[in-house]
Amino acid sequence: MRLRNASTPSGRKRPVTEGAGFLLVLAAGVVLAYLGSGYVLQLSGDALALGMAAMGLDFLMGYTGRVSFGQAAWLAVGAFASGYLFLHGWDVITATLATIGIIIVLSAVMGAVATITGGLAFAIVTLAEGVIIYTIINHLGILGAGVGLFGIPLPKIAGQTWLGSQRSLFLLALVLALICYVAVRALVAAPAGRFCQAIRDDEMRARSIGVEVQRYQILAFVVSSVVAGIGGIAFVVLNGGVQPSQAAWDQSGLILVMLIIGGTRTLYGGFIGAFIYVFAQNYLTQSFANDWQIYLGAIFVLMVLVLPGGLAGGVRLALTGLGSGAGQRLRRRRAGGDSDEPGIEPTAGDRMVGVSE
Q: Is 212 a binder of other proteins (CB under 8 A)?
A: no
CA distances, 97 to each of 160, 184, 343 (Å): 18, 17, 33
Name the minimum Å distance from CB 208 to other proteins: 11
**Residue 132 touches other proteins, criterion: CB under 8 A:** yes
Residue 36, φ and ψ in degrees, nearest 5: -70, 150
Cβ burial of 77 (10 Å; 0-12, 13-18, 19+) is buried
Is 46 a binding residue for other proteins by CB under 8 A? The answer is no
Q: Judged by CB under 8 A, does residue 252 bind other proteins?
A: no
57 binds other proteins, rule: CB under 8 A? no
- Should residue 220 be labelled a site residue for other proteins when binding is judged by CB under 8 A? no
**Binding pattern for the stretch 260-289 against other proteins, x by CB under 8 A and - elsewhere:** x-----------------------------
> Least distance to other proteins from the beta carbon of 341, Å?
9
- Least distance from C-beta 78 to other proteins, angstroms? 19
Measured from the CB of residue 124, what is the shortest distance to other proteins in angstroms?
Answer: 5
C-alpha distances (whole Å) from 71 to each of 176, 254, 298, 343 are 18, 9, 22, 19
Q: How far is the CB of 338 from other proteins (least distance, A)?
A: 11
Handedness of CA 220, 10, 232, 139 (dihedral sign): negative
Q: What are the angstrom distances between the C-alpha of 55 and each of 136, 168, 224, 305?
A: 25, 23, 8, 21
Residues in 147-206 that interact with other proteins by CB under 8 A: 203-204
With contacts defined by CB under 8 A, name the span among 9-17, 155-163, 225-233, 300-308 that binds other proteins: 300-308
Q: Taking CB under 8 A as the rule, does residue 30 contact other proteins?
A: no
Q: Least CB distance from residue 327 to other proteins, whole Å? A: 21
Partners of residue 157 on adjacent β-strands: 160
Does the protein bind other proteins through residue 349 (CB under 8 A)?
A: yes
Q: In three state form, how does the secondary structure of 228-276 look?
A: HHHHHHHHHHHHCEECHHHHCHHHHHHHHHHHHHHCCCCCCHHHHHHHH
Q: 10 Å Cβ neighbour count for 28?
A: 15
Asked if 294 is part of the footprint of other proteins (rule: CB under 8 A), the reply reads yes
For residue 267, give the nearest of 338, 322, 189 by alpha carbon.
189
Q: Please, which residues have CB within 8 angstroms of residue 289's CB and are 6 or more apart in sequence?
A: none
The residues of the shown chain that bind other proteins, judged by CB under 8 A, are 65-67, 69, 113, 116-121, 123-125, 127-129, 131-132, 135-136, 138-139, 203-204, 249-250, 253, 256-257, 260, 290-294, 296-298, 300-301, 304-305, 308, 336-337, 343-350, 352-357
